[in-house]
Each structure stands twice: as structure tokens, then as C-alpha cells.
Structure 1
Amino acid sequence: MSIRKWYFVHKWTSLVCTAFLLMLCITGLPLIFHEEIEHLSGVVEAPPMPEDTPYASLDKVAEAAHKQRPGDVIRFMFWEQDEHPHVTLVSMAETMDAPPDDAKVVLIDSRTAKVLDEPPPDRGFMYVMFKLHVDMFAGLPGMLFLGFMGLLFAVAIISGIVLYHPFMRRLNFGTIRREKQARLKWLDIHNLLGVATLVWALVVGLTGTINTLSQIVIFVWQSDQMAEMTAPYKDLPVPTTLGSLQASIDTAKQAIPDMHVSFVAFPGSMFSSPHHYTVFMKGNTPVTSRLLKPALVDAQTTELTDARDMPWYVKTLLLSQPLHFGDYGGLPLKIIWTLLDLITIVVLGSGLYLWIKRRKHTEKRLAELEQHHAARA
């Protein structure tokens, strides 16, 4: 393909996605530090106790949650030991199929089974940033639209790589022509910063696109692997009484001893069947801690039904999430992600500036030519 065609592709893919990419970069900045912001906002934590304090039975934890919200059902229990040690987060709603935004979270001390807090639904600054970044308050269509913008961004990066050498072949790498007009200076800055951050921008853009497919990936998993694992229970009546939650989790731990519990989906919830507790286990290394392995436990007998590794498409999604937000390497990596995000904002802004200046230059040149033609006539 000719340089002219590559330039056309780069210009229009960049222009179409720039406004949305700027929005994603700006809203992504606070999301990088969401853990630190949560702590500063005064999230209730478990009180200090001796390290060897045993955990309470999860049946007692569930009982405490039901007493706190007697009209609701428990859909999930999950644990974030790095962010909220010794706290069990219980997600509840009026019904199992209630929308995610209707969920209420009860924080319970994992050692004493006492309720620590029931924070109100988050509708503040971080919630707005998250919704804008994920779906622009438009649900699945918004997610897929932003995913398409991510693909256009990737095409803009690749076409920019192709164009960099021909446009800069007469200049040394990193040259900024300060003595020339402002447009050329910003062109050099745009090219230099774009090349310096292209690998990071490509990774973040592609992983962001993958993340927008999360709902579709979950649906495929439910229709594929989950349906196969629960097939023997398909025509059985829904159980009216359930066995011990603690015993069910102990069963999963015994079946997969080299992993620990990440969260539990209760019978009838989104990630389970009416007959099972689905215990999602995760590993202990930086990579395996991002991967989940579901263990299905019969909710009546507390016996293991099935346990399988997630399929490749779910693993791809799970691994793309920490790469996108840079939250797998602690605070130093978050700072690096922030700096690269800020540089990308400069690249996007300078590209928009160059397009506007080029249009003004073209219009001015056309006006001069028209005046010259009129004078000759």
C-alpha cells in the first residue's frame, strides 16, 4: 500500500477515535488508583486482631448478612485480601436476577462474623469515571462501541509506525525543530511521543478492546463450559433446602489444594446453577492469581460435581484486565501507567491540533489561490 494510502488510514482512524480515546485516558487516570482512593475515602476495614485468629464459619457469615438485609438474597461472596484483609464482601439483591446496579454489599469481619458496614451504592465521582470508561452509561452497546474505538486506535498506531520512517528519514531520531513554525515543532513532538509509547498504547488499546467483550465472553462460557458442567442437573427440580456453605467451600479447597478461594456464586446466580455453589479458585503467583478455576459443588450434598480450567477465551479476558489497568505490579507500575497515560493524552491532543492547523493552512492556501485567480481574470 502506498504512503498516501497509509496517511489516509492514519488520519481518519485517528480523527474518528481521538475524542473517545481522550475521554478514556482521562477517566482511566483515577481508575488506576482506585484502591488507594477507596482507602482515602474511608472504607471500613476489619479491626486489628492476632494473626492466628481463626476465621468464623461462612454459614455464620451468611446468617449475619441475612440478618442485616432480611428481605434480600445472597448472590456472591468474595474476598480481596490485598485490598481488604479479613473482610468478607457479601453481594445481595432483592432477587437473583436483579440488575448489577441494584446490588447491595455488606462488609462482614471474616473472623467474628460481625457486620462492619453496609456502604450505600456508589454513585459518586469514581462511579461516574468507571461507567464513562466502561460503557458511557450505555450498557453493552456502549461497551462494544468503545471496543470499536479501541480497534481504530490500534490501526492508527500501526499506520503511524509505517509512516514514521518516511516522514522522519531526513531527521535524526528525537529531533524537535524548534526554530521552525509551531506546527512543525508539534509534529515532531507528536511523532516522538507516539513512537516512544507505541508498545504500551497498543497493549492498552487491544486489552481494552478485549475487556469490552466481557459480557459476550461470559455468555459464551455459560452456554458452553458451564452448560456442559451442569447438564446432569438440567431436568432436576430446584432444591428447597441447601447444605452448608462452609462444607461446600471446604470441598472445593480439598479438590484444588494448590489454589485459594476468590469468590463464591450462590445457587441461581449469574455464575452458577440452581443446584450448585460455584467456588472460583485462583492461584498464588502473579499470573495464576489472575486466572480463575470454577469448582461446582452440589448445594444439597456439598459434594464436588466438576472442576475445570477456564477455556482460552476466558483466560484471555482475565489476563487482559490487569494489563489494561497496570494493577499487577503495585504502586510503582501504577505510576508508570499514569505517566504513559498522560503522554498518550499529549499525543492525542497534538494530533488533533495538527489536523486543525493543517485545515486552516489548507483553507488559507485555497483562499490565496482563489484571489490570485480572480486577479488574473
Structure 2
Amino acid sequence: MQRSAIKAWFLVHKWTSLVCTLFLLLLCVTGLPLVFGEEIAHLSEPHVDNPQPQAAHRNLDEQVRTAVAQYPGNVPLFVGWDWDGHTVYVNTGTEPATPPPQMKTALLDASSGEVLPAPQFNEGVMYFLYRLHTDLFLGLPGMLFMGAMGLLFAVAIISGLVLYGPFMRRQRFGTLRTGRSRRLAWLDLHNVIGVVTLGWALVVGITGAINTIAKPLETAWQSQQLGEFAARYAGQPRPTTLASLQAAVDTARAAEPGMRPAFVSFPGTGYSGDHHYGVFMQGNTPLTERLYRPVLIDAGTGELTAQPQLPTYMSVLLLSQPLHFGDYGKLPLKILWALLDLLTIAVLVSGLYLWFKRGSTEARVTEIERAEKTGGAA
């Protein structure tokens, strides 16, 4: 590689790394417990020990009335199922457009309808870490900023591979040159761990960046696909008396046999317009349970309106969200994700050490140039 190219790539690697490193450390540290978020949540959530068959599940309309009674003055917003825990959750708010941080959650036994202790999803340490990880408590601007840091991280990885890839190929894997200087040993450690985590870091960085644009993508989908059906109800007020929720879910089941309901959105929540229940169906495998199939049920009449297909960009989003946290292979994959997260923290810390012990740019470029030519005699 020519000296001018080495210098250009070195500057790209240097500055993209410096700009994103502190934020990446924050993401790695907060992301570590979030990888096990489901397991941690289950420690504080009740589990039905002797569940009855699915057919014996209590009528959903009764469950919603029971849930709303826990928060007088609220209205139902979402109903969802934890099929493993055999429970039903109901999110409520003071109005249909209540933002998630202000929602209240009721949890019920799916069979008996008994009200269970319900830790609120928008409270506690895990929620604090989640907000810090996703948007720095700044909403969409913070989310987009963190997404930009993820893209810078990807550029730093690629530029590092371009710079040190030729040199690493000449060395036995795992070589640490400890006999010359501490900085050189740290450089080798930085490069070796970087190679080990290369694929994972790119996947997590890119999926993280995709996840940060979830809200704009959801808004686009709602305005495009749902807007088409909402136009049929132009000028009509939102129904004040709703059709049976249980009947709506049964209709959706019949329309999508072989799938099960994941959650239902009520009219006005933004997921199904002002005139529909949105029954979001899912498959039964680790992959298909992430690809929702919406079924729109007229909330006034209970009749099936449409089964819109999710656009490709929404499918990519839905698949990238669990991949970011290693949520496809259950606990073994999550443990692997956690180990790679720790190794990435080591890469970031060693990178900071190398920057503090840096020489001039020209000296570093000369060092890289010599290493490429001599196979490590830098």
C-alpha cells in the first residue's frame, strides 16, 4: 500500500475510533446486562406453575376490564402474551396516544384471569440502562446520535482491518511481541482481539444503527400502509364502543392459521389507525416469532378488514432487533454475545491506551508501512 493511502486510512481509523470510543464503551457496558434482560425480567415476574390448556384461556374482554380496573381513568392500549410464562399483559394509559414511558402495565394469569404482581417495564434499573443504551434519555435525537456512533464504529473496524490486515496475515495468530516495548505488546493485543471480534462487532454495530431508525421506519409504515386503510374511514370519528376483543383475536387466528397472536393494538395507538384492532400474529420458531403478520379488524364491527404484508424494511428491522442482543439462540448464544462484548471493551480500552501513548502521525504511518513490508519488524 502506498504511503499516502496508509496515511489516509490511518487518519480515518484514528478519528472514527476517537469520536466513537467513549460512546461505544457506554454501549458495551450498558448492553452487557441488557443481553440477559429477558432472564433478569423473569426473575421478578410471576410464572404460572400449573397452566391450563390454551383453549381454557380466560375471555380477553374480561381480562381487559380487570386490568383497566387496576388503573381507574385509564384506557387499554395494548394486550400481549407471554406464552412461556402463561400470562397476559395489558398496557394502559390516560389516552390512546400515551407514550410508553407513561404507560401502566397489568399482568394476569392467562387461564384464571387472576391479577399478578406486575413490575412496570418503564421503571427500575433495567429500564434506566435501556434508555441510556438506546437514546441517552434524549428521545429520537439521542437515538439517531447513537446510531451514528455505531456507523463510525463500523468504519473504524473496516479501516483497522485495511491497515493491519496485511501485517496480521504474516504473523502467527495470537502473536504478542512482548520483548520490545509495552506499547507494541498492547498494539498486538488490540489487533488480535479486534480480529477475534471483527465479525460480531460489525453485526452488532450495523444492527444497532438499524435499530436506531426504528421510529422513523414505523412512522413510514403507518403512514403508507395503514394510511391506505385509514382513508376509507375519512371523516368518521373513532368508535367509542368497541367490538369484542376476543372475537377480533379469534378472527385473526382463523385468518392466519398456524400462527399465534403476539400482541393487539387498540385504535388510536398508532399501530392500527383510529378504527382498527391491530392483531399482530407471530410464528412459533425463533426466527418466525420475530416476523409479525398484522391483521386489521374493524374495531366497530369486528369484521376482518385487511392482512397487510410488512414491507421489506420492516422485516429487516424486526430481524435486526433480536440479533443485536443475541436473542435467537436463547441462553448459549447470549453467553457468547456477553463474552464478545467483554472482548470488545478490551479492544476499546487498549485503543485508548494506544492513543495516550501515541507518537506523531508520520511516525505511526512509518511504523505501519515497515510492518507491512517486514512482517512485524516495526
Q: TM-score, normalised on structure 2?
A: 0.91
Unaligned runs of 5+ in 1: 364-377
Tell me how far apart the structure 2 counterparts of residues 167 and 120 of structure 1 sit (CA, whole Å). 52
- Contact kept? 2:230, 2:274, Cα under 8 Å: no
Which is further off, 166-175 or 140-149? Answer: 166-175
Secondary structure of 1:280's match? strand
Residue 300 of structure 1 corresponds to which residue in structure 2? Answer: 300
Distance 1:120 1:318, change over 3 A: closer
Tell me how far apart the structure 1 counterparts of residues 251 and 167 of structure 2 sit (CA, whole Å). 63
- Contact kept? 1:76, 1:264, Cα under 8 Å: yes
Secondary structure of 2:56's match? coil
Computed over aligned residues only, the root mean square deviation of the Cα atoms, in angstroms, reads 1.9
Tell me how far apart the structure 2 counterparts of residues 125 and 180 of structure 1 sit (CA, whole Å). 46
- Contact kept? 2:36, 2:334, Cα under 8 Å: yes
Unaligned runs of 5+ in 2: 364-378
Residue 101 of structure 1 corresponds to which residue in structure 2? Answer: 101
- Contact kept? 1:143, 1:212, Cα under 8 Å: yes
Query: AA paired with 1:75?
Result: L
Tell me how far apart the structure 2 counterparts of residues 361 and 315 of structure 1 sit (CA, whole Å). 44
Tell me how far apart the structure 2 counterparts of residues 188 and 283 of structure 1 sit (CA, whole Å). 46
Query: AA paired with 1:224?
Result: Q
Residue 252 of structure 2 corresponds to which residue in structure 1? Answer: 252
Counting aligned pairs with the same residue, the percent is: 54
Residue 183 of structure 1 corresponds to which residue in structure 2? Answer: 183
Tell me how far apart the structure 2 counterparts of residues 314 and 321 of structure 1 sit (CA, whole Å). 11
**Of 16, 19, 23, which aligns to 2:19?**
16
Secondary structure of 2:205's match? helix
Tell me how far apart the structure 1 counterparts of residues 221 and 232 of structure 2 sit (CA, whole Å). 17
Residue 79 of structure 1 corresponds to which residue in structure 2? Answer: 81
Residues 142-184 of structure 1, C-alpha deviation per residue, up to 9 Å, x if partnerless? 0000000001001001111111134446533321111121100
Query: AA paired with 2:47?
Result: E
Secondary structure of 2:281's match? strand
- Contact kept? 1:279, 1:297, Cα under 8 Å: yes
Tell me how far apart the structure 1 counterparts of residues 236 and 52 of structure 2 sit (CA, whole Å). 46
Tell me how far apart the structure 1 counterparts of residues 14 and 299 of structure 2 sit (CA, whole Å). 57
Tell me how far apart the structure 2 counterparts of residues 3 and 307 of structure 1 sit (CA, whole Å). 54
Secondary structure of 2:32's match? helix
- Contact kept? 1:46, 1:116, Cα under 8 Å: no
Distance 1:56 1:234, change over 3 A: same
Note if 1:26 corresponds to 2:29. yes
Tell me how far apart the structure 1 counterparts of residues 307 and 278 of structure 2 sit (CA, whole Å). 9
Mapping of residues 135-154 of structure 1, within 5 Å: 135-154=135-154
Which is further off, 118-127 or 240-249? Answer: 118-127
Secondary structure of 2:82's match? coil
Which is further off, 271-280 or 201-210? Answer: 271-280
Note if 1:335 corresponds to 2:335. yes
Distance 1:358 1:323, change over 3 A: same
Secondary structure of 1:272's match? coil
Residues 333-375 of structure 1, C-alpha deviation per residue, up to 9 Å, x if partnerless? 0100000000000001101100101159999xxxxxxxxxxxx
- Contact kept? 2:96, 2:268, Cα under 8 Å: yes
- Contact kept? 2:52, 2:111, Cα under 8 Å: no
Q: TM-score, normalised on structure 1?
A: 0.91
| Aligned pairs, number | 360
Note if 1:116 corresponds to 2:116. yes
Secondary structure of 1:358's match? coil
User: What displacement does 1:47 show?
Assistant: 4.4
Tell me how far apart the structure 2 counterparts of residues 120 and 187 of structure 1 sit (CA, whole Å). 45
Mapping of residues 56-67 of structure 1, within 5 Å: 56-67=58-69
Distance 1:49 1:288, change over 3 A: closer
Which is further off, 161-170 or 132-141? Answer: 161-170
